[in-house]
A = this chain, B = another copy of it.
């Protein structure tokens, strides 16, 4: 019986590249595995897979009765809907410890680093399995994406060393140039429907019983949003109502200016004041230096809801 290796809902590059890289590793150590995904590829991820010659992993939503290796989260809200009927055999992740539980022992490779693929590289090292050049390429791109080319406060020395090692294996001389190319693909938002943009990197969190949806769009210049910001605001308002959410927040992150404008719709008009010490004005607040949802947004909100 093969296990399925699958990342979170609304998969990002870490979830997709991680599933491919980990499934390959597991197959090398005689643990049959199939890479899978819970949603559509983002343009960034499609760019990475095409660049290194991979097909998208299997689209599969239901896992009842299957063995599953979870990539890039440990949260019920981000897992397959029927995960309770599956057997979780492992988790590789770099976020806070979420509310997934199991009834049998498993393996968890969880580290406070910038990207799950950095941990998957440690797993290759542990099992002494060589990484093929094209897999090294997608792993490297996932780390460059998650760490915003090393600019994010989540980036650690381990992530940088890992990218350097993977770039050598992949034969990529200028990995920062490839990273910028990737973020240019990510910045092409014109002509895309608001809902598609909002959902591109969207995660729901259960914060003390309140459902909080947080999206993020990372671009090279926030000016790309000028003509569509009103549409984005209308869309997160609709999304809040549809999902009975307490709040929906959308981070518009400028990776060059290194900060984020947050669009806010919430049952609590003081939410950003409480969490970030800065009031929301006209449904917006600029958060200087904020690049990371995981490190600079989620913990602060969780404290506000505690």
Contacts and interface: CB of A to CB of B under 8 A. Distances in A.
Contact of A106 (B103, B106, B112): B112
A110 B106 contact: yes
Contacts of A107: 110-112
A104 interface: yes
Interface in A95-134: 95-112, 122, 126
B108 A110 contact: yes
A106 B101 contact: no
Contacts of A105: 94-96, 110-112, 154, 294-295
Nearest to A125: B126
A299 interface: yes
A295 B103 CA distance: 10
Contacts of A109: 108-109
Contact of A96 (B96, B102, B126, B294): B102
A241 to B, nearest CB: 27
Contacts of A62: none
A88 interface: yes
Contacts of A112: 104-107
A273 interface: no
B110 A101 contact: no
Contact of A101 (B91, B98, B108, B299): B98
A298 B299 CA distance: 33
A276 to B, nearest CB: 15
A74 B112 CA distance: 17
A294 B108 CA distance: 17
Contacts of A98: 101
A229 interface: no
B103 A302 contact: yes
12 contacts: A96-B102, A96-B103, A97-B100, A103-B302, A104-B112, A105-B111, A105-B112, A105-B154, A106-B112, A107-B111, A108-B108, A108-B109
